[in-house]
Structure 1
Amino acid sequence: MSHIPAFGLGTFRLQGQIVIDSVRNGLEVGYRTIDTAQIYGNEAEVGEAIAASGIARDALFLTTKIWVDHYSREKLIPSLKESLRKLRTDAVDLTLIHWPAPNNGVPLEETMGALAEAKAQGLTKQIGVSNFNIELTKQAIAAVGKDNIATNQIELSPYLQNRKLVSFLQQEGIHVTSYMTLAYGKVLGDPVIRAIAERHRATPAQVALAWALHLGYSVIPSSTKRENLASNLLAQTLELTADDMAQIATLERNGREVSPEGLAAQWD
């Protein structure tokens, strides 16, 4: 059974001193899970902030993601070792395939096989996928077995509820990690979310994050503001009612924010 912490700190789009400050502040206010990726160009800064924090490595959960250029058997493990060097650690807790990139010339079976080999070598404790649709998740399962796929990290927000894919993943026992849970901040102005937030004396961000947590997903919101980092964490103690959840369920509008040409497969 995979173990993925419910609440983490995302670092997408944060670079240089900004990501160092975000990770430092995050660790200081209580985050212990950090999510990065090779393509973010910030693994070294994340590693620096963690090292400076003095927090023991085994108290942290680190995730990185293999970029498309490194999907072949001969490139994947060397690229992960380079990520580990930047992150200043012997192993990460979770390594994901970042995008399916269906036409990049490397069979998914080869990529998943190399990822499983990285796990066998002790470079990563768990492995998984990101942005995979149902069909590709089935192919990944065929390659390494569903017990070896700890999570599928997908874009999920009150505006993009992805029910068909989520239902498939839950049926297969594959954990769901939600990224962009706030839809780049778009859901924060939503009248339904705001009304729920007022009723609970919470922030709209806390409501959206609590919604995802209530559905059993992990979340990895990012912020550059210390007060928002601390405030977001409080979503873990916000108890939404069945009525709140039903109201948020009506906000589905297939509001996808991220779908890069050539990297994404056909969405369900």
Structure 2
Amino acid sequence: MDHASENRAPEAKKSNVKEDRHFVTALARGLDVLSSFRSGEKLLGNQELAERTKLPKSTVSRLTYTLTKLGYLQYVDEVGKYRLGTASLALGSAMLSKLDIRQFARPYMQELADFSHSTVSMGMRDRLSMIYVENCRSQAALTLRLDVGARIPIALTAMGRAYLAETTSAERNEILERVREYDETKWPAIRDGVMRSLEEYKTIGCCTSFGDWQPDVNAIAVAFRPANGSSILSINCGGPVYTISREFLLDEVKPRLLELVDRLKRA
């Protein structure tokens, strides 16, 4: 599974939603097209969208035509590709504006980023990915370059594993089943990493990913459910292995990360 494909999840195709008479397949496919756009990518063509959604190109062409008419996509004639339209951007902005906890958390996240000379991020689950909804970097030159809107895989990253540890067993099992269906070959290694992280969460209070997602990235994370009962959020701290060691993360950063999350729980 390469970096581009590991964050995609054709869940609607492999779950039992087809058997649900209330499930609107066309709508799901349209949303799949929109979610194919990732942080840092501005333009995608029908062929690229077809590859990412695993849908026939003819189907994708009809979907992009409709989404363009509705303002969710904008066609760039010069290159024959699409960018997200204002309707899509408005939806994302509206969602972020409702996350008041971002404003509360930002100064504490920045303080931890400066202390650790790394990146501290807040994320929410979207299918088999975690999406960054807030991001703070230290002024150090070498940090991860992931911005708000970036997607990372749920089962390979500390942020995603913390979410899996915090959610219900029913939801966790459903997510992991979809991960298994998506990549049968790598599933045994993925499963072992997740199970190890779940045990870590019980014993040391955080989940880790030391080279599991990318070989040169170390990270730890803690998840929590805000006091207002909204969706589970995860906070991670990480960076390149040559600037932030696992020992430093566990010995120095973890107590501060746990204190940060405790503040947010009580916010």
TM class by shorter chain equals: under 0.3
The structure with the larger Rg is 2
TM-score of the superposed pair, with normalisation by structure 1: 0.26
Higher strand share: 2
TM-score of the superposed pair, with normalisation by structure 2: 0.27
Which one scores higher on RCO, CA 8 angstroms, separation ≥ 6?
1
